[in-house]
Structure 1
Amino acid sequence: MYPEHPTTSRPVTAVEVHQPTTFPPAAVTPAPLAAMQPGTVPSVASIVLPDGRVVTGYAIEPARPEPVAAKPPVSRAAVNVALGGIGFAAVCGGLLVLTTFIAALTALITQLITLAAVIFGGWIAVQIFSSNGHQGGTTVNIRKAVIKRNHFHS
């Protein structure tokens, strides 16, 4: 049995120490070989260095860049901008026709309201100023009346 800890009264257990495991260094992978056409053997070249040593190896042709595709004479962005301008012009023409129609309709409604006001006003004027047999005003027939002490008796 393990002895107890002096402050917690729990048994003290043994501590296990683990050492890290080392891994062997990774193997260096060789660079990929250049693609070659099947059936062809590259030529072997030898070079003599200034100190007299001879180095022999395969001749490596420099990598050729991929041919660039021919660009169209007009860029796609320019074509898109031009098409957008044509569409905008078509919309503006339609808006111009629409606003012209709305302005003409507003003018017609204004003229109809003015015409109705003139006709109604003329009818009222004719009713006021026409004479239909009487001179205008109110006719009151007063018969014999006696006024006594500010009282009207009929």
Structure 2
Amino acid sequence: MYPDHTPQRAVEVHQPTPIPPPVVHPAPVVPVQPGTVPTVASVVLPDGRVVTGYAIDAVRPEPVTAKPAVSRAAVNVALGGVGFLAVSGGLLLLTSFIAALTAFIGQLITLAAVIFGGWIAVQVFSTSGNQGGGTTVNIRKAVIKRSHFRG
């Protein structure tokens, strides 16, 4: 090949695809009733000139709705506080009831221990053959041993 010769490439031609214009629907025409013709007003300035024009009503702002004196958030917080106080009173009573019940059960256990312990003591310190209650000591043998009596 020749040094100044470059190979030719095939040229591709792309034709753009036309985009159809958007479909525009015309807005419906609403017949407007002609208003009353405003009155013409004339004003005399201090230097004697007269200015004439249409009288324009002053723009009146829309009435502002009255806001409540207290916001809804404040009312909700207050109602939540009242509810919490009501529940707290009930919880306090429940806690007092549980404490009283615990003390009552503890006293019942103590009473049962005293009664059962007393019954055990009576069983240990009483003899089955002696109805008088108490311990019998054979004094005769004790006297004999002390006095050296021989008989």
**TM-score if structure 1 supplies the norm length?**
0.51
Query: How far apart are 1:66 and its partner, in Å?
Result: 2.5
Q: Does 1:41 align with 2:37?
A: yes
Amino acid at match of 2:105: I
Equivalence for 1:18? 15
Inter-partner Cα distance in structure 2 for 1:62 and 1:21: 54
Equivalence for 1:105? 101
Inter-partner Cα distance in structure 1 for 2:20 and 2:107: 99
CA RMSD of aligned residues (A): 3.9
Equivalence for 2:125? 129
Equivalence for 2:77? 81
Query: How many matched pairs?
Result: 103
Percent sequence identity over matched residues? Answer: 70
Query: How far apart are 1:39 and its partner, in Å?
Result: 2.5
Equivalence for 1:151? none
Consecutive unaligned residues of structure 1, counting only runs of 5 or more, are 1-13, 25-35, 45-57, 137-154
Inter-partner Cα distance in structure 2 for 1:38 and 1:103: 86
Q: Write the deviation string for residues 104-149 of structure 1: whole angstroms up to 9, x where unpaired.
A: 111111111111111111100110012333569xxxxxxxxxxxxx
Q: Write the deviation string for residues 65-100 of structure 1: whole angstroms up to 9, x where unpaired.
A: 432111122222222211111111000001111111
**TM-score if structure 2 supplies the norm length?**
0.51
- Greater helix fraction, Structure 1 or Structure 2: 2
Consecutive unaligned residues of structure 2, counting only runs of 5 or more, are 1-10, 22-31, 41-53, 137-151
Select which of 73, 83, 90 maps to 2:86: 90
